[in-house]
Structure 1
Amino acid sequence: MKKSQYESKLSEKNIEQYVPPNNVLAEKCVLGGMITDEIVLVTAIDTLNSNSFCLPEHRQIFLAAENLYSKMAPVDIVNLTEELLKMGCCMEQACGAVYLKELIDSVPTTANYEYYIKIVHDKWLMRELISTANQIINNCKESNREVYKILGSTYHELFKIEKLSVCDEFKKLKSMMNQIAGHIKKLIDNNKSVIGLDTGFRELNELTTGFHDGELIILASQPAVGKTALALNIAENVAINENKAVAIFSLELTALELSMRILSSYVRIDAQKLRRGGLTQQDLSLLLQASAALKESSIYIDSSATLTPLEVRARCRWLKAENPNLGLIIIDYLQLMHSSASETENSEQELSQILRSLKSIALNFNVPIIVLSQLNRESENDSRPKLSQLRESGAIEQDADLVLLLYRKYMTSHDPKDENTAELIVTKQRNGPIGNILLKFENKYARFEDSPEGFAEMYYRDDE
């Protein structure tokens, strides 16, 4: 096939200098298909933009077609030629009517348009990656720049490219019915109330059917009520009993402090003894046995002092590569995170951006994410907390799939009979009912357990 003068120019450039990844023939097929087939036109405009094309002439033709489409005008040779002139393009550079006709003739069949669009899209992403890599090199050469700022900008740029690589598609109801049939069969075969990830708590499993992939779960309470302890108890069950990897991001406690909490809770040894000493020989024996079991679990702790959603995504991607069995992500806690965006108007806007990003991570990695959160000061009275008492509750109500509020009456009553009880209030569940769950709490071990049978009736009777 005879090369056009523009492809010849590209070949000449290739001799003189490096040419970024491209496929001129695929670009021509896409543009030619856009002129001859409306389906190709709509798909290309939805998937690509002018920067997706390597040749400047092809970018101009795409822009002209996009302009015509937005005006609901026919995209043909006559209209394209006129639009290119209006855009101030030199017809030699923009190839003119002769080249537009050549584009149409270059399309063997529009039946393969999706493959041509994918080739153009992938080459574009490769050029973007090369550009970003060059920028990273230049940033590193600037000795006055802090390394963590370079890492932050790198995460941001790579995430932008990753978003470009995601092309959402419609799902036919027919294919969804097949998936639903498979899901129902799984329910019948399973014959259990827990369909998702087992939390380790019987009533919570019954109410939620477990934590599900892609869910954003908010666990909130006042300080010192035990939300970190509850999250660690769930992590322990998922890692040891479900044999899944768990990623814990803590912005408040060090990895050592969290590890000691997990060990104390798992062995049921007073946490103060671990910190201050005074362990008996029996305690040491139990600790050695527990350490062996915990060493076999896949719990990963990140105790960075600052954290953005982009950093969560990057570190979880690394973890997923090392351990594909990642089953749960925990973040402690929401109000200490920062948005990846450079500027936000207010704290509510920043929180909303963080939550949307975390929800995106849950969906992309196909795992539930538990995010710990604080409650407003108004919830410090002796009444049970409500959804409206979440800090920046509007954003949380909108983005969270499941909201759990932890309440311990003892924190305000100081009545000894309330010391070992806690309520987990399911105040929002996108795909299920809400309700209250009574738990047993052992303060010296920082451990939550299912309440004994009949305990709930007695607790709520005393509460009247």
Structure 2
Amino acid sequence: MVNQFETPNELPHNATAEKLVLACLISNPQLLEETISILNAKVFYRKEHENIYDVIEKAYEKLTKIDFLTLMDLLTKTKLIHYLGEEKEIKKLGNQLIDNNCFEDYIHLLLDKFLRRSVIQNSASLVNLVTDQSTSIDKIFYELNNFLDLINKHYKTNKQNSKISYLLEDFISTINDNTIEKNIKSGFKDFDNITTGFHRSDFIIIASRPAMGKTALALNIATNITKATDTSVAFFSLEMPTQQLIYRIISSETQIAIKKLRSGQLNTIEWKKIKTAALNLSSLKLYIDDTPNITFSILKAKVQQLIQSNKDLSLIIVDYLQLISNNNNKNTNRHQELSLITRSLKILAREFNIVVIVLSQLSRNVESRNNKRPILSDLKESGCISQNSLIETKLSKVQINQLPQKKLLTIYSENANKHLVLSSINKVKNNKQKLIYKIVTQSGYSILLTANHKLKSLAGWKKCNELNTIDKIAISIEHNYLSYNKTHFFTKSRKPIVLTKIFEKILLIHLVESNIVYDIEMHSINNFIANNIVIHNSIEQDADLVCMLHNEDYYKLPETKNQEKSLAQISVLKHRNGAVGTFELEFLPQFAQFINKTI
């Protein structure tokens, strides 16, 4: 009989680190926003520490407000507090990590110990499984795969915030070995000159008014990439059935007009062109899915299936954003749904390390202007706020036009659990001068903002021009709000506060004047607090690249149009990784084809 593999009596752990991290989280509950997705109770080796974190985690998920006293009370009631010490000791231990700026180091120390314990424990189970002759090979491989998935998941989590010294070593090694990943070229020269190609994990929006040719452009990009590389591309068409897309692809390849293809009146030469094109196209790794009314969860499942069967999937295209369903969530309005969907698409791009291109319809506001060339605000689901708006930071309220541009900064916003927490910003944007409205609540809170900026109401996110005096909007207040002094609350400097949220009725809404306005691009949450009012951001903030497609010929009279060729303008209005700019492509409408502009 084979001796079984036994695990050591003492597995890797650091009880002091566990105690320090717990004390830090209790003393500084706002840190839970950063740790809740990384740590779970099983990361703690000591059972009493595991139980303490479990209480903290459940409190974070269930309570609308969470602070030091709340957590202390819960841990006292569950008779767990004595494992950490007295109130003063907990505060001292918790602030020790913050003061020394080493909280993240201790988080990764816990993950390191947990990873080592997991390897030992699972390895022991696998050895015992393998030595049992009655266990099938299929069962062994199944358990082995589960083990590797578990380890890989936590290994990635542990590496997530690697120190820059290690990241630089990897970067230099990659360059020396000439294994740096190549960007994905669109096949359009001027487009690639501006973007340097699409970067893996990029989320890209291509937007236009209807009938500008964005579907044709996206199809052209898809075929260009699959022709030039050995990678796979998936095209999710929520609007057009596969047959219509095939007509467009064949027309573009053969230069036979779509109208003629549909008529079926083709000569021998044209049939030969079609057969040749079909033979060439059949070798491309291009996948087309025309499932209508698709939800994001189904879309993600389909991408996962493609990746499992095609490890070289480099890019997906979704046509178009506004047709993606909301997973039957009836508690959100459409503006909120689109924000959730764009955030999910960005996460999808990062999770699978692929490029995600989503097409989007622009609002009708474009048609009301003399100059119909689209601008970035035409895409936004929200607008801008006055330059005098006060933004809630950790230690003070700061006017939006005075927020530091080149300094890491956290401001208050509402997280997925509907708690008001500190969240980091990417940048502050000046959107020049616009007409603004004033909203005033019953107790006197007010804000100046553009008509299309969204606020949090009881019915979900609503634009300013959709609100009226029967609506209630979200207001941030101090934890002990019944006794606080509003005048003091608006002073420039104060001690760190804990914010909670109530809904307050709107007293009046009226047009004020034209004023300079600003907006904030958040890092991970699509809202922030200004003048104590919870307001939203735009769908474009999730995008790494935003392109607008415009064709002036669309607005010309039929007799003045060139039916065979027109110039389309593509404006790169946002580029997180590089330059912006405008270029032109020739559009051949009869073939649904874009080509590089000829000199």
TM-score computed with the length of structure 1 as normaliser: 0.67
The aligned residue for residue 395 of structure 1 is: 538
* Aligned residue type for 2:212: V
Residues 210-229 of structure 1: matches in 2 within 5 Å?
A: 210-229=197-216
The aligned residue for residue 259 of structure 1 is: 246
Residues 366-445 of structure 1: matches in 2 within 5 Å?
A: 366-380=353-367, 383-390=372-379, 392=381, 394-414=537-557, 415-417=560-562, 419-445=565-591
CA RMSD of aligned residues (A): 4.2
* Aligned residue type for 2:373: R
The aligned residue for residue 86 of structure 1 is: 77
Deviations 1:97-124 (A, max 9, x none): xxxxxxxxxxxxxx99645523778999
The aligned residue for residue 324 of structure 1 is: 311
Mean Cα displacement is larger for which, 261-270 or 359-368?
261-270
CA drift of 1:443 comes to: 0.8
Given that 2:44 and 2:114 are in contact with CA atoms closer than 8 Å, whether structure 1 keeps it comes out as no
Given that 1:222 and 1:374 are in contact with CA atoms closer than 8 Å, whether structure 2 keeps it comes out as yes
Describe the shift of the 1:223–1:34 C-alpha distance in structure 2 as closer, same or farther (beyond 3 A).
Answer: same
Describe the shift of the 1:178–1:266 C-alpha distance in structure 2 as closer, same or farther (beyond 3 A).
Answer: farther
Looking at secondary structure, tell me which structure has more helix per residue: 1
2 CA distance for matches of 1:123 and 1:262?
Answer: 54
Given that 2:296 and 2:326 are in contact with CA atoms closer than 8 Å, whether structure 1 keeps it comes out as yes
Equivalenced residues, count:
360
Describe the shift of the 1:295–1:65 C-alpha distance in structure 2 as closer, same or farther (beyond 3 A).
Answer: closer
CA drift of 1:297 comes to: 0.6
Percent identical residues: 33
* Secondary structure of residue in 1 paired with 2:347: helix
| Of 429, 448, 451, the match for 2:594 | 448
Q: Residue 198 in 1 paired to residue 185 in 2? A: yes
CA drift of 1:436 comes to: 1.2
* Aligned residue type for 1:421: L
2 CA distance for matches of 1:305 and 1:232?
Answer: 18
Describe the shift of the 1:123–1:55 C-alpha distance in structure 2 as closer, same or farther (beyond 3 A).
Answer: farther
2 CA distance for matches of 1:209 and 1:353?
Answer: 29
Deviations 1:400-454 (A, max 9, x none): 111111111110024335942111111111122221111111111000000012x
Residues 20-419 of structure 1: matches in 2 within 5 Å?
A: 30=13, 32=15, 38=20, 46=35, 47-50=38-41, 59-63=50-54, 86-88=77-79, 114=111, 116-118=113-115, 169-181=160-172, 196-340=183-327, 342-380=329-367, 383-390=372-379, 392=381, 394-414=537-557, 415-417=560-562, 419=565
* Secondary structure of residue in 2 paired with 1:286: helix
2 CA distance for matches of 1:376 and 1:123?
Answer: 57
CA drift of 1:198 comes to: 0.9
Looking at secondary structure, tell me which structure has more strand per residue: 2
2 CA distance for matches of 1:257 and 1:120?
Answer: 56
Given that 2:202 and 2:350 are in contact with CA atoms closer than 8 Å, whether structure 1 keeps it comes out as yes
2 CA distance for matches of 1:178 and 1:432?
Answer: 24
Structure 2: which 5+ runs fail to align? 1-6, 26-31, 60-66, 84-107, 122-152, 383-536
* Aligned residue type for 1:392: E
Mean Cα displacement is larger for which, 366-375 or 301-310?
301-310
2 CA distance for matches of 1:335 and 1:299?
Answer: 23
* Aligned residue type for 1:323: N
2 CA distance for matches of 1:334 and 1:215?
Answer: 16
Describe the shift of the 1:391–1:38 C-alpha distance in structure 2 as closer, same or farther (beyond 3 A).
Answer: closer
2 CA distance for matches of 1:364 and 1:167?
Answer: 16
CA drift of 1:283 comes to: 0.9
2 CA distance for matches of 1:410 and 1:317?
Answer: 41
* Secondary structure of residue in 2 paired with 1:441: strand
2 CA distance for matches of 1:336 and 1:24?
Answer: 56
Describe the shift of the 1:383–1:182 C-alpha distance in structure 2 as closer, same or farther (beyond 3 A).
Answer: farther
TM-score computed with the length of structure 2 as normaliser: 0.52
CA drift of 1:164 comes to: 13
Structure 1: which 5+ runs fail to align? 1-22, 73-79, 95-110, 125-161, 454-464
